[in-house]
């Protein structure tokens, strides 16, 4: 095989190592290793349909009010809205991919990829409003409680992937595999709260009216919402996601040194219930990593370019984006999330010619 014929197979073998997406192993060598560096973005914190981060103080207030309303056979409607902004964490990643051929014929290969990274993100600010509409003992009132929350986050991410590829020719391959992603976060949250207690005061007035009508003295006084100094509660969150993926890869070599490629796969991903450790109080939070399990589906697409220095060395760059549409769990189907990033790798081939 001359150099011109060998390039597509060797280059495709390098593309195979691109973040675990398989292509064929090179004809010139049986094994390649690709150190990788890149940056990863995750917009999960910007999802809103199941957004909720109720502080321990507010939750205790709502629980007590619900107990009172239930005791007197009243009704209470509770609506929570969340506004604000969130920055996608940019997580630097480093690691590598090991690629090797299996079976006879040299058309089937495996790539094993491991990537790790961590970052610090400060300044996410959310404002959550809890609107209450209460009717009890003939008295009706509307209350609102506003929480302004700012996060100081430490993220860490581990990405493990095993991918199998079968090459049909020099420009097309079938690909599929398994991916496991672990994300951990330390999220100290500073909270400032303001609120009204119209319901309690309406109930107190109604109670006093009933006492006076019965010939007694009014007993209940006026209530005010406890306005305290800003406080912080802390959470450590650990979440795994497991996915199966399958699709195809296409390659377009130009001359003996350049190769453009695209990988398109469909995935089904299972995100089990996250482990949430509260270091101060009990917090109900579905905003960043929901405690409920979730199943998602969607596309996983990579596009990139490779430059071959020689028969043994090549440099490639790619952009990969995975979209997750929920089909079970707390979030709506339309409230998808996207994980994406840029990656650069330098491949070296080993083995006999």
| Residue 22 confidence class, pLDDT cut points 50, 70, 90 | very low
Q: How far is CA 119 from the centre of its chain?
A: 15
pLDDT (0 to 100) of residue 186 = 84
DSSP string, 283-350: -EE-SSS-SS-EEEEEEEEEEEEEEESSSSEEEEEEEEEEEEEEEESSS-TTS-EEEEEEEEEEEEEE
Q: Is the pLDDT of residue 27 over 80?
A: no
d(CA 271, CA 239): 7
Model pTM score: 0.74
Structure-model confidence comparison of residues 121 and 344, the more confident one: 344
CA distance 122 to 89: 10
Residue 237 in contact with residue 275, Cβ under 8 Å?
A: yes
Instruction: Please state, in angstroms and rounded to a whole number, the distance separating the CA atoms of residues 225 and 194.
Output: 7
pLDDT of residue 64: 83
Beta strand 108-136 with 172-186 is: unpaired
Q: Report pLDDT digits (tens) over 174-212.
A: 999 999 999 888 878 788 888 888 888 887 887 787 777
* CATH code, 182: 2.40.160.20
Quote the Cα angle for 267-271-276, to 5°: 160
Q: How far apart are CA 13 and CA 316, in angstroms?
A: 11
Task: Tell me what pLDDT residue 291 has.
Answer: 53
Is residue 102 a contact partner of residue 75, using CB atoms and an 8 Å limit?
no
Task: Compute the mean pLDDT over every residue in the chain, rounded to the nearest whole number.
Answer: 80
* Residues spanned by the domain of 255: 3-350
User: With 0-12 CB in 10 A as exposed, 13-18 as middle and 19+ as buried, what is 110?
Assistant: middle
Q: What is the domain count for the chain? A: 1
Per-residue pLDDT reduced to its tens digit, 290-341: 557 889 999 999 999 999 998 889 999 999 999 999 998 878 888 888 999 9
**Nearest CA to 184 among 322, 91, 320?**
91
What is the pLDDT confidence band of residue 97, given thresholds at 50, 70 and 90? very high
């Amino acid at each position: 095989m001359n150099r011109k014929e060998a390039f597509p197979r060797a280059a495709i073998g390098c593309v195979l190592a691109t973040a675990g997406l398989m292509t064929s192993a090179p004809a010139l060598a049986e094994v390649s290793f690709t150190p990788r560096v890149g940056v990863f973005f995750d917009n999960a914190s910007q999802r809103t349909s199941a957004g909720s981060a109720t502080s321990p103080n507010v939750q205790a207030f709502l629980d007590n009010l619900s107990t009172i309303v239930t005791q007197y056979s009243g009704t209470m409607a509770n609506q929570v809205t969340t506004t604000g902004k969130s920055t996608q964490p940019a997580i630097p990643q480093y690691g590598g991919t090991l690629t090797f051929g299996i079976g006879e014929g040299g058309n089937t290969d495996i790539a094993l990829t491991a990537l790790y990274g961590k970052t610090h993100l400060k300044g996410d600010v959310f404002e959550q409003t809890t609107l209450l509409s209460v009717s009890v003992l003939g008295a009706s009132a509307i209350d609102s409680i506003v929480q302004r929350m700012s996060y100081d986050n430490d993220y860490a991410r581990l990405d493990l992937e095993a991918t199998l590829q079968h090459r049909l020719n020099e420009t097309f391959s079938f690909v599929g595999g398994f991916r496991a992603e672990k994300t951990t976060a330390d999220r100290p949250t500073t909270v400032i709260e303001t609120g009204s207690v119209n319901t309690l005061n309406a109930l107190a007035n109604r109670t006093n009216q009933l006492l006076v009508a019965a010939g007694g003295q009014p007993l209940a006084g006026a209530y005010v919402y406890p306005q305290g100094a800003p406080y912080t509660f802390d959470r450590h969150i650990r979440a795994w996601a497991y996915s199966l993926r399958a699709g195809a890869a296409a390659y377009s070599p130009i001359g003996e040194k350049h190769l453009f490629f695209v990988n398109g796969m469909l995935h089904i991903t299972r995100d089990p219930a996250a482990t949430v450790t509260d270091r101060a109080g009990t917090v109900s939070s579905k905003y960043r990593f929901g405690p409920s399990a979730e199943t998602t589906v969607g596309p996983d697409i990579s596009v990139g370019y490779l430059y071959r220095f020689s028969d043994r060395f090549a440099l490639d760059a790619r952009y990969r984006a995975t979209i997750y549409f929920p089909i079970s769990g707390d979030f709506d189907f339309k409230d998808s999330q996207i994980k994406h990033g840029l990656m650069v790798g330098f491949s070296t081939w080993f083995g006999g010619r």
